[in-house]
């Protein structure tokens, strides 16, 4: 805990100095970069001791024990600070080009505050401490989202985010009121005690929590703030929102599960179904996007769905007394949280580099960037493979755990067997993700350049190293899962109140070595095939030609398949569900995208609410006598109420 | 781990050797039924040998991904083969939930090949890649539903268990479900191996192709790797179908091996028969066929969940 406090102080000092030294950009950037990195690493070091100990161990210190660490908090803190450190390094390079028109120092200070607030949320031990950190986080993130506030769409995205984040906060206020209101509980320990004594409306608390944390995490239909905000923010902030801040919602749900004790079965099924819906719809909507960052944002929705699926399975497994299923689901959810933080931040780093080099986020105007920025293309490829959940990368490990949990649920008895059907839904999401990322990587980096002449020339400088670090971690977790699985299983077991015998814990972590073996086998097979290929006669008989184009001379790069045409055949199967509309015009295929929830449901509903409110405006006559009438009738009404109550 | 897994290794080697014969059997069946002489059953072996000796042409547009594609495809398909219990008892590599890895490895192959297609900057190949991932998006849920049927019927979550002794024991109890699942798996096989009615490997027009047009720019040994990986994938799916209908775990090893070869041949003939009696579907009908396959497996699941 002390190390964590020291680390966070370092982050804060670095942020403040970056703001104060605005006049000396070089020094400010260096101080912020290395100060934040050092602070994050120090903070991470403070969490490591929690992964080896039995789950009961926890420590609380500072600020009247308002903040403390236990394995669950430590798990999230480590991820937040680890990814946060790379984001700070990337961010200084990324933002340096915005000087001197913008106050880059303010962005750095806000980033530092946001990192501290995020850590505060996952380490809070009292209701007030939690909500305070929550609100600081929400506001700091909002200020960062509207950093480019001279654009109208950025302001609109900021407004939608602000509304949704406060809906979330209201739901959380309601949750804590329903939970602790009757008992006067103020700390999490007291909340847990109140739950253990069955004195709280569990259903209400669980629903309000699901709404509040669900909106923050981006669970459909609460995802509507997410694509706009991610696209509007500077790229390293997008990485922070998607890779880190969404996970706060997941943490909240996990903490609630921990404190509430055994949850009703229907809640588990609800979370499972919501997860499935979120995963499939998220990736489907992602497929339709032609803005690079909006596409990635919708993919975060998909991944939150996958995490939720694991979380729901964990709750169901413990409700039906199947510890192995519960552990698999929960471990999968925890590990996917980490994995998504890693590869989604990496993807946003790549998107930022593309934006810097090519000057646009319009996927259909880009192409052939691999020649210009090979290292970004390589890192982006690794992240793409990981996010699709393909072996041998980290996304596969967590999706495998969740798949396995779903299938093991099928091997049990009773109603839990129904959960196994969800495996098909997860498979659909995975296959659609494959379509989506072959489209994205293929159109961005491969083929020949399209409309936009790339700026090139050193624009990528400084943006590559953080990408390589994250890519290396993705590869390490994918190839050597036995390094992280035992810790993940212990944290999961703690969330589920120590469910699962030692045998179950070993069983979950046990297959990890076989997977490493399989990854090794894949590498060896690849090398063998490569060597065979290299000794074939063809190795000396290589000819370079133009791409074969049906015996026509190659015309122009505009005949290439675009992102729109690549996704068109899949989207047309899903019709209006995909939220896209295909128009074939004289100059080619155009796909119009809308968010089915935001643009077809939320906005029209808001319009009707506004109309109704306008009708209500008639009571505002502006004449004093009417207001006196209102005040007096309200008073009389209250008196009547009191009198009725006393009789 | 104490003894060398002799039979799994032998079975894997057999499958690796006979794989190129399967497309030959399917094509020969088709030509026999349509009154033509057709190419020899072993034609693909000759094609592979010929391609291996040829030179390669690379497009100037391509990057290293184009060259990496076929290598990763074959390596992933080979590892997927090692996950299947081909001798009816054990797989070389087995762990709980390995069926996810099986599907994932085939997905890895598809991913790199789609990227290799996009790497050429050709509209034909982009079209092929787009169609391939579209078809796969609907085949994948059907495949997992079939696996789920097997999991529910046997109570096992690894391929060796699902296709092992528990499957023989499940047949008397769950015969209707298993038949439905086998039917569904067969449709998935047609889609995954690019056969009629999903794709036609013998078509001549690029605009009507799916898989063929995706690999249009590959030549020489690269094309050989792709063709061999395709034949192997067909063999693996045939083994999945045959394994459901013909559980071999209780037979002696020699007989199990013979049953496997027989099963592979029967599935290949069935593919050829399907190709002879129907034409390929219009592209926008293909998802409907695969959703029907999912529905079949879904019914099988409902029968088991009763």
pLDDT digits (tens, 9 = 90+) for A23-42: 888 899 999 999 999 999 99
Q: Do A420 and B118 touch (CB under 8 A)?
A: no
- A281 inside domain: no
Are residues A447 and B118, on separate chains, in Cβ contact within 8 Å? yes
d(CA A637, CA A402): 57
Residue A389 inside a domain? The answer is yes
Tell me the per-residue pLDDT of B191-214, one tens digit each, with 9 for 90 and over: 999 998 999 888 878 788 888 889
- In this prediction, residues A433-456 reach a mean pLDDT of 86
**How distant, in Å, are the alpha carbons of A176, A209, A272, A496, B192 from that of A256?**
10, 7, 16, 11, 44
pLDDT at residue A436 is higher than 50? yes
Mean pLDDT of the B144-166 span: 94
Q: Give the number of other CB atoms < 10 A from CB of residue A49.
A: 14
Name residue, tokens 């694991």.
A310
A350 neighbors A288 (Cβ within 8 angstroms): no
Task: Read off the pLDDT band of A63 (50, 70, 90).
Answer: very low
Where helices occur in A147-264 by DSSP H, the ranges are 152-180, 188-196, 202-217, 226-232, 235-240, 246-260
Identify whether A221 is preceded by a cis peptide bond (ω within 30 of 0). yes
Optimal mutation site among A379, A408, A416, A446, interface B, most CBs of chain B within 10 A: A446
Looking at the fold, whether A351 and A480 belong to one and the same domain comes out as yes
- Least CB–CB distance from A536: residue in B52, B94, B107: B52
Q: Which DSSP symbol is given to A187? A: B
The answer, yes or no, to whether residue A350 has pLDDT greater than 90, is yes
Report chain B residues whose CB lies below 8 A from the CB of A511: 95-97
Q: Average per-residue pLDDT in chain B?
A: 93
**What does the alpha-carbon distance between residue A178 and residue A210 come to, in Å, rounded to a whole number?**
14
Q: How far is CA A332 from CA A296, A311, A472, A485, A491, in A?
A: 22, 8, 21, 9, 11
Same domain, A480 and A367: yes
Residue A181 lies in a domain: no
Chain B CB contacts of A370 under 8 Å are 63, 65
Confidence grade of residue A56 (pLDDT, cut at 50, 70, 90): very low
- For residue range B6-49, list pLDDT tens digits in order: 889 999 999 999 999 999 999 999 999 999 988 999 999 999 99
8-state DSSP, B164: S
Q: Which of B131, B109, B129 is nearest to B119 (CA)?
A: B129
Over 80: is that where the pLDDT of A57 sits?
no
Residues A402 and A503 in one domain: yes
Domain final residue, candidates A514, A531, A548:
A531
Same-domain pairing of A475 and A618: no
Same domain, A489 and A635: no
Residue B56 has pLDDT above 80, yes or no: yes
A537 inside 8 A of chain B by CB: yes
Residue partners of B108: CB distance under 8 A and separation at least 6: A385, A390, A391, B72, B76
pLDDT interval class at A232 (50, 70, 90) = very high
CB contact under 8 A, B225 and A529: yes
Q: Which residues pair with A592 in a beta bridge?
A: A581
B-chain CB neighbours of A536 within 8 Å are 52-53, 220-221
Q: Is A447 an 8 Å CB contact of chain B? A: yes
What does pLDDT average to over chain A? 90
Q: Is B120 within 8 Å of A569 when comparing Cβ atoms?
A: no
Q: What angle do CA B266, B267, B271 make, to 5 degrees?
A: 115
Distances (CA, A) of A314 to A55, A198, A321: 17, 22, 10
Under a CB-based contact definition with an 8 Å cutoff, are residues B116 and B122 in contact?
no
HEC string of A478-543? HHCHHHCHHHHHHHHHHHCCCCCCHHHHHHHHHHHHHHHHHHHHHHHHHHHHHHHHHHCHHHCCEE
Mean pLDDT score, B263-271: 96
Cβ neighbors of B37 (< 8 A, separation 6 or more) are B31
**Cα–Cα distance for residue pair A128/A66, rounded to 1 Å:** 8
> Do the bridges between strand A68-69 and strand A59-60 make them parallel or antiparallel, or are there none, so unpaired?
antiparallel
Q: Quick check: B221 and A533 CB within 8 A?
A: yes
In chain A, the number of structural domains is: 2
Query: Can you give the pLDDT at residue A456?
Result: 62
Residue B159 has pLDDT above 80, yes or no: yes
Facing residue for B61 by CB, picked from A401, A447, A514: A447
The answer as to whether A465 is a domain residue is yes
Q: Is residue A280 part of a domain?
A: no
The answer to whether A407 contacts B151, with C-beta atoms less than 8 Å apart, is yes
- Using pLDDT thresholds of 50, 70 and 90, give the confidence band for residue A494: confident
Are A570 and B133 an interchain contact pair (Cβ–Cβ within 8 Å)? yes
Q: Do A547 and B58 touch (CB under 8 A)?
A: no
With CA atoms as reference, report the closest residue to A338 among A54, A6, A10, A47. Answer: A47
Which residues of chain A are within 8 Å of residue B208 when distances are taken between CB atoms? none
Q: Please report whether residue A240 resides in a domain.
A: no
Quick one: A358 and A461 in the same domain?
yes
Contacts of B148 in chain A (CB under 8 A): 407, 410, 420-421, 423-424
Q: What is the pLDDT of residue A100?
A: 77
For residue A576, give every residue at least 6 positions away whose Cβ sits within 8 Å of its Cβ, in sequence order, or none. A596
Taking contacts as CB-CB distances below 8 angstroms, the residues of chain A near B100 are 396, 399-400, 403-404
Interface test with A, best of B79, B83, B154 (most A CBs within 10 A): B79
For residue A533, give the chain B residue with the closest CA.
B221
Chain-chain contact of A403 with B100 (C-beta, under 8 angstroms): yes
Of A417, A431, A538, the CB nearest to B55: A538
Containing domain of residue A314, as a range? 306-531
Confidence of residue A645 (pLDDT cuts 50, 70, 90): confident
Residue A589 is inside which H or E element, if any?
strand A588-593
Pair A361, A492 in one domain: yes
Can you tell me the mean pLDDT for A222-251? 95
Within this chain, do residues A361 and A490 fall inside the same structural domain, yes or no? yes
CA B42-B48-B53 angle, 5° bins: 135
Is A129 inside any structural domain?
no
Q: Flag whether A416 is in a domain.
A: yes
pLDDT at A544: 87
- pLDDT at residue A43, as a whole number: 94
How far is C-alpha A79 from the chain's CA centre?
Answer: 12
Q: What end-to-end distance do the CA atoms of chain B give, in Å?
A: 39
Q: Do A442 and B58 touch (CB under 8 A)?
A: no
Could you tell me the two tokens for A539? 């190795």
A601 shares a domain with A525: no
B71/A511 touch (CB, cutoff 8 Å), yes or no:
no
- Cα of A544 to nearest chain B Cα, Å: 5
* pLDDT for position A209: 96
Q: Which residues of A touch B147 (CB under 8 A)?
A: 407, 423
Q: Are residues A455 and A339 in the same domain?
A: yes
Q: Do A545 and B75 touch (CB under 8 A)?
A: no
Lowest mean pLDDT among A45-54, A171-180, A377-386: A45-54
Nearest-CA residue of chain B relative to A564?
A: B130
Residues of chain A with C-beta less than 8 angstroms from the C-beta of B298? 421
Residue B100 to residue B89: CA distance in whole angstroms: 19
Based on the domain organization, do A516 and A637 belong to the same domain? no
Domain end, chosen from A491, A511, A531, is at: A531
Domain boundary among A507, A531, A555: A531
Residue A501: predicted pLDDT: 64
Give residue A500's pLDDT. 66
Statement to judge: residues A504 and A632 lie in one domain: no
- In the prediction, which pLDDT does A554 show? 61
The alpha carbons of chain B give a radius of gyration, in whole angstroms, of: 19
Q: What does the pLDDT look like over A495-516, one tens digit per residue?
A: 888 776 666 777 777 788 899 9
Model ipTM over 0.95: yes
Closest CA to A422 of A322, A514, A510, A310: A310
The CA distance from A64 to A540, in Å, is 73
Tens of pLDDT, residue by residue over A401-419, are 999 999 999 988 889 999 9
Average pLDDT over residues A60-85: 84
pLDDT of B268 > 60? The answer is yes
- The nearest CA of chain A is from the CA of B101 a distance in Å of 7
pLDDT of A458: 66
Binary contact (A547, B120; C-beta < 8 A): yes
| Mean pLDDT along residues B280-295 | 92
> Which of the 8 DSSP states describes residue A264?
P
Please report the DSSP string for B226-276 in residue order.
HHHHHHHHHHHHHHHHHHHHS--TTS-HHHHHHHHHHHHHHHHHHHHHHHH
Segment B79-94 mean pLDDT = 92
pLDDT at A502: 67
């Amino acid at each position: 805990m002390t190390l964590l406090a020291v680390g966070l102080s370092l982050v804060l000092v670095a942020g403040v100095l970056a703001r104060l030294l605005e006049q000396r950009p070089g020094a400010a950037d260096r101080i912020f970069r290395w100060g934040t990195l050092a602070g994050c690493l120090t903070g991470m070091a403070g969490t490591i001791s929690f992964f080896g100990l039995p789950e009961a161990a926890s420590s609380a210190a500072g600020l009247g024990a308002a903040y403390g660490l236990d394995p669950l908090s430590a798990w999230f803190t480590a991820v937040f600070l680890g990814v946060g450190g790379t984001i700070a390094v990337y961010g200084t390079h990324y933002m340096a080009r915005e000087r001197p028109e913008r106050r880059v120092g303010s962005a750095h200070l806000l980033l530092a505050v946001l990192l501290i607030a995020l850590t505060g949320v996952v380490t809070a031990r009292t209701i007030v401490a939690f909500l305070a950190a929550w609100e600081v986080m929400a506001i700091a993130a909002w200020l960062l989202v509207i950093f480019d506030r001279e654009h109208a769409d950025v302001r609109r995205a900021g407004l939608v985010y602000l509304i949704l984040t406060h809906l979330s906060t209201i739901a959380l206020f309601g949750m804590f009121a329903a939970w602790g209101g009757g008992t006067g509980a103020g700390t999490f320990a007291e909340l847990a005690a109140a739950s253990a004594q069955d004195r709280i409306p569990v259903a209400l608390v669980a629903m309000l929590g699901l709404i509040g944390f669900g909106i923050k995490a981006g669970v459909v239909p609460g995802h509507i703030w997410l694509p706009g905000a991610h696209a509007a923010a500077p790229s390293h902030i997008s990485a922070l929102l998607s890779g880190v801040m969404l996970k706060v919602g997941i943490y909240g749900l996990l903490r609630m599960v921990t404190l509430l004790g055994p949850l009703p079965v229907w809640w588990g099924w609800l979370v499972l179904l919501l997860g499935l819906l979120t995963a499939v719809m998220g990736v489907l909507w992602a497929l339709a996007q032609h803005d690079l960052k909006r596409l990635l944002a919708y993919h975060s929705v998909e991944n939150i769905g996958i995490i939720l699926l694991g979380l729901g399975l964990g709750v169901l497994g413990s409700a039906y007394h199947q510890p192995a299923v519960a552990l698999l689901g929960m471990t999968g959810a925890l590990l996917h949280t980490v994995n998504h933080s890693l590869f989604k931040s990496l993807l946003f780093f790549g998107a930022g580099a593309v934006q810097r080099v090519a000057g646009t986020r319009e996927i259909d105007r880009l192409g052939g960037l691999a020649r210009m920025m090979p290292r970004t293309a390589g890192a982006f490829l690794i992240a793409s493979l990981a996010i699709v959940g393909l072996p041998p990368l980290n996304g596969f490990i967590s999706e495998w755990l969740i798949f396995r949990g779903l299938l093991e649920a099928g091997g049990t008895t009773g109603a839990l067997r129904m959960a196994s059907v969800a495996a098909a839904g997860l498979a659909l999401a995975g296959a659609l993700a494959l379509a989506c990322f072959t489209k994205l990587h293929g159109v961005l980096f491969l083929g020949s350049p399209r409309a936009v002449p790339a700026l090139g020339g050193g624009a990528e400088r400084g943006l590559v190293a953080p990408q390589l670090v994250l890519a290396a971690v993705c590869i390490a977790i994918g190839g050597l899962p036995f390094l992280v699985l035992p810790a993940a299983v212990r944290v999961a077991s703690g969330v589920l109140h120590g469910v699962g015998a030692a045998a179950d814990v070993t069983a979950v972590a046990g297959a990890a070595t076989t997977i490493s073996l399989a990854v090794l086998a894949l590498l060896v097979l690849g090398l063998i095939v490569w060597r065979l290929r290299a000794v074939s006669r063809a190795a000396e008989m290589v000819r370079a030609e133009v791409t074969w184009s049906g015996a026509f001379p190659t015309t122009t790069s505009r005949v290439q398949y675009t992102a729109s045409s690549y996704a068109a055949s899949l989207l047309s199967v899903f019709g209006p569900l995909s939220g896209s509309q295909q128009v074939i015009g004289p100059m080619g295929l155009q796909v119009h995208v809308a968010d089915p929830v935001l643009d077809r449901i939320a906005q029209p509903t808001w319009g009707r609410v506004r109309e109704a409110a306008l009708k209500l405006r008639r009571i505002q006559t502006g004449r004093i006598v009417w207001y006196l009438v209102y005040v007096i009738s309200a008073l009389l009404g209250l008196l009547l109420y009191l009198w009725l109550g006393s009789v | 781990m104490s003894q060398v897994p002799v039979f799994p290794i032998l079975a894997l080697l057999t499958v690796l050797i006979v794989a190129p014969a399967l497309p030959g059997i399917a094509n020969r069946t088709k030509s026999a039924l349509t009154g033509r002489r057709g190419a020899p059953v072993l034609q693909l072996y000759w094609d592979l040998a010929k391609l291996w000796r040829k030179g390669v042409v690379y497009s100037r547009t391509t990057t290293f991904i184009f060259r990496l594609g076929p290598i990763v495809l074959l390596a992933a398909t080979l590892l997927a083969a090692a996950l299947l219990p081909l001798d009816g008892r054990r797989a070389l590599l087995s762990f709980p939930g390995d069926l996810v890895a099986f599907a994932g490895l085939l997905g890895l192959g598809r991913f790199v090949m789609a990227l290799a297609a996009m790497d050429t900057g050709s509209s034909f190949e982009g079209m092929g890649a787009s169609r391939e991932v579209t078809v796969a998006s609907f085949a994948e849920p059907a495949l997992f539903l079939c696996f789920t049927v097997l999991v529910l019927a046997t109570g096992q979550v690894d391929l060796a268990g699902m296709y092992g002794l528990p499957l023989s024991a499940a047949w008397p109890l769950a015969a209707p479900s298993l038949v439905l699942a086998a039917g569904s798996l067969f449709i998935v096989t047609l889609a995954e191996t690019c056969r009629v009615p999903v794709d036609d490997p013998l078509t001549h027009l690029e605009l009507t192709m799916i898989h063929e047009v995706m690999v249009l720019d590959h030549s020489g040994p690269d094309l050989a790797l792709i063709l061999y990986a395709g034949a192997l994938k067909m063999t693996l799916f045939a083994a999945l179908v045959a394994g459901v209908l013909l559980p071999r775990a209780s037979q002696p090893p020699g007989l199990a091996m013979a049953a496997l070869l027989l099963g592979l041949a029967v599935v290949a003939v069935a593919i050829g028969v399907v190709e002879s009696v129907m034409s390929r579907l219009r592209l926008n009908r293909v998802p409907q066929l695969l959703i029907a396959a999912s529905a079949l497996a879904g019914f099988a699941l409902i029968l088991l969940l009763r």
